[in-house]
Amino acid sequence: MQAVNAIEFFHYPRDGGPSLAWGVRVDGVDLRARTAWATRELWRPELEDQFEDQERESAELIWRQHEGLGVLDFAEPPFLRTAGRIPLLGCLCGIWQCWPLTARVETTPVTVAWSAFRQPEREEWGELPLGPFAFGRPAYEAALGSPTALTVDPLGPAPAGLGV
């Protein structure tokens, strides 16, 4: 697998408080945004006719379905583990196991690859239409070792057209 994707890790405050979360950008795009677009159609059967303002409220739910992993939740970030599936994103409630986005991570001396993205709480969704991504291991480890510190969550509001 050729290393072609760029990776950026960052920390941002959760809910505007002192607790920090790990954020991830792949090729400059927040992984939460990529996941929202990848799961939009999968949400459709569950969200149709659920909200008064269907387009806006479903878009917000899909856009904000994940949070970065809590910085203090792991003795070391899970992003380089190689055994089994690892969490890349967690739940808004702060308990990452509640609604994780998982992927298979494979490492070699020169690359780190993320593939087979899944939402374990929705096994019927199967493998998500997301990735695979391959990163140069030296750049990956450098980004992981010095995450950018942000003062606000960079995700921003849900874009028009995301809701169901």
pLDDT of the residue at 83 = 62
**pTM score of the predicted model:** 0.92
CB contact at 8 A, 31 and 88: yes
Confidence at residue 160, expressed as pLDDT on a 0 to 100 scale: 85
Q: Give dist(CA 77, CA 64) in Å, integer.
A: 22
DSSP β-bridge partners for residue 113: 106, 134
Write down the pLDDT at residue 78.
85
Among residues 86, 122, 114, 121, the alpha carbon closest in space to that of 102 is found at 86
Q: List per-block mean pLDDT (blocks of 10 residues) for the chain, which spans 164 residues.
A: 84 84 96 96 83 76 92 82 83 86 93 95 95 96 94 92 78
Per-residue model confidence (pLDDT) at position 3? 59
- In terms of C-beta density within 10 A (0-12 exposed, 13-18 middle, 19 or more buried), how is residue 18 classed? exposed
Do the beta carbons of residue 80 and residue 72 sit within 8 Å? no
Angle at 44 between CA 127 and CA 29, to 5 degrees: 60
